[in-house]
């Protein structure tokens, strides 16, 4: 038992948030789950105040550390604002896992993609544009493309637009997407074998991998769409690629999303937060405990 006061930024009641809070309480005797919607930055008093469900106020700058399991239920530009608030805690000496600056670079899908591209990480053919004509031309080249919001998780808001030979229908579909997402992000839809992989890293060190297997007729493998977790043992070469992909972000905990194609492995994204359930159900690894070991090692 230690006397470290470590708070968990997450979604109260959600499995991963509560599992991490349970592990911290068992190790330290302290438990605090923080919903960022109830956090206020008071620059006059120079404090970052959280009001819990009982109305008790906690100054987060008085904690030893904050572990960010989830900054919001869904990614949005507002998620960036919440991370900015955590920079105040960092400036006051609170260790934030992962650092706010590292997470900020991953909330926006475009920022993640640009970093991966600059590091020569293989990804699906990608176009980012506000030009409807350029997007339509890309769909024709790709035959089918996955259009993705710049802020989203678990494939929410994504859609597939195919080239059926009807130019008017294609343009109408693209214009419907761009009406909600002015900066379009689209990737060639790849012919994958019904599964992709999550590769987990703690403090930059490889921990484990698991497969996500699509459920039914879903085009994506997310658990949100009915997918399930399964074991997966990657090659040393694939581990090295995933390690290289996550390295520029300097995260304390992350999952790298990988797929295997006929032309070799590709990286879809590096997660700002990563998940615990896939590691537990797919690989039999308690990733929450491994993450906490890392945090305690850093604090010590």
Helix (H, G, I), strand (E, B) or coil at 259: strand
Distance separating alpha carbons of residues 185 and 170, to the nearest angstrom: 16
Please report, rounded to a whole number, the percentage of residues in the chain having pLDDT higher than 90.
81
DSSP per-residue codes, 37-79: GGEEEETTTTEEEEE-TTS-EEEGGGSSEEEES-S-SS--HHH
pLDDT, tens digit, 9 for 90 and up, residues 9-44: 999 999 999 999 999 999 999 999 999 999 999 999
Q: What is the reported pLDDT for 108? A: 86
Distance separating alpha carbons of residues 204 and 202, to the nearest angstrom: 5
Q: What is the reported pLDDT for 151? A: 84
DSSP at 253: E
For 182, half-sphere exposure in the C-beta direction (CA atoms, 13 angstrom radius) is 0
pLDDT, tens digit, 9 for 90 and up, residues 99-137: 999 999 888 889 999 999 999 999 999 999 999 999 999
Q: What is the reported pLDDT for 77? A: 81
DSSP at 287: H
Distance separating alpha carbons of residues 21 and 30, to the nearest angstrom: 9
Tell me the pLDDT of the chain averaged across its residues. Answer: 93
Asked whether the beta carbons of 290 and 202 are under 8 A apart, the reply is yes
Asked whether the beta carbons of 11 and 35 are under 8 A apart, the reply is yes
Higher pLDDT, 2 or 58: 58
Residue 270 pLDDT exceeds 80: yes
Asked whether the beta carbons of 161 and 173 are under 8 A apart, the reply is yes
Distant-in-sequence, close-in-space partners of 205: CB < 8 Å, separation ≥ 6: none
Domains of the chain: 6-97 (3.40.50.20), 126-188 (3.30.1490.20), 192-285 (3.30.470.20)
H-helix or E-strand containing 15? Answer: helix 15-28
pTM for the full predicted model? 0.90
210: preceding bond cis by omega (within 30 degrees)? no
DSSP at 272: S
- From the list 62, 52, 48, 50, the residue with the least C-alpha distance to 95 is 62
What is the pLDDT averaged over residues 156-178?
94
Give the gyration radius of the chain's Cα atoms: 20
How many other C-beta atoms lie within 10 A of the C-beta of residue 165?
Answer: 8
């Amino acid at each position: 038992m230690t006397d470290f006061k470590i708070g968990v930024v997450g979604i109260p009641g959600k499995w991963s948030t509560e599992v991490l809070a349970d592990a911290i309480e068992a190790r330290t005797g302290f438990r605090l789950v923080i919903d960022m919607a109830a956090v206020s930055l008071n620059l006059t008093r120079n404090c970052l105040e959280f009001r819990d469900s009982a109305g008790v106020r906690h100054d987060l700058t008085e904690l030893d550390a904050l572990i960010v399991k989830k900054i919001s239920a869904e990614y949005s530009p507002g998620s960036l604002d919440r991370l900015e608030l955590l920079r105040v805690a960092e400036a006051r000496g609170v260790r934030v896992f992962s650092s706010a600056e590292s997470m900020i670079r991953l909330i926006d899908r475009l920022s993640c993609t640009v970093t991966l591209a600059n590091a020569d990480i293989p990804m699906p053919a990608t176009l980012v544009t506000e030009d409807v004509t350029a997007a339509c031309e890309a769909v024709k080249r790709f035959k089918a493309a996955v259009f993705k919001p710049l802020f989203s998780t678990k494939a929410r808001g994504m859609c597939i637009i195919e080239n059926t030979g009807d130019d008017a229908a294609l343009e109408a579909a693209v214009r419907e997407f761009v009406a909600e997402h002015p900066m379009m992000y689209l990737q060639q839809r790849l012919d994958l074998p019904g599964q992709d992989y999550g590769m987990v890293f703690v403090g930059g060190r490889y921990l484990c991998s698991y497969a996500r297997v699509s459920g039914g007729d879903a085009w994506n493998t997310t658990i949100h769409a009915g997918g399930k977790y399964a074991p997966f043992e990657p090659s040393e070469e694939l581990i090295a690629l995933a390690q290289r992909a996550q390295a520029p972000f300097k995260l304390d905990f992350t999952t790298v999303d990988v797929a295997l194609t006929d032309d070799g492995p590709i990286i879809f994204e590096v997660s700002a937060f990563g998940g615990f359930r896939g590691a537990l159900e797919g690989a039999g690894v308690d990733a929450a405990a491994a993450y906490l070991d890392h945090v305690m090692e850093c604090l010590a």
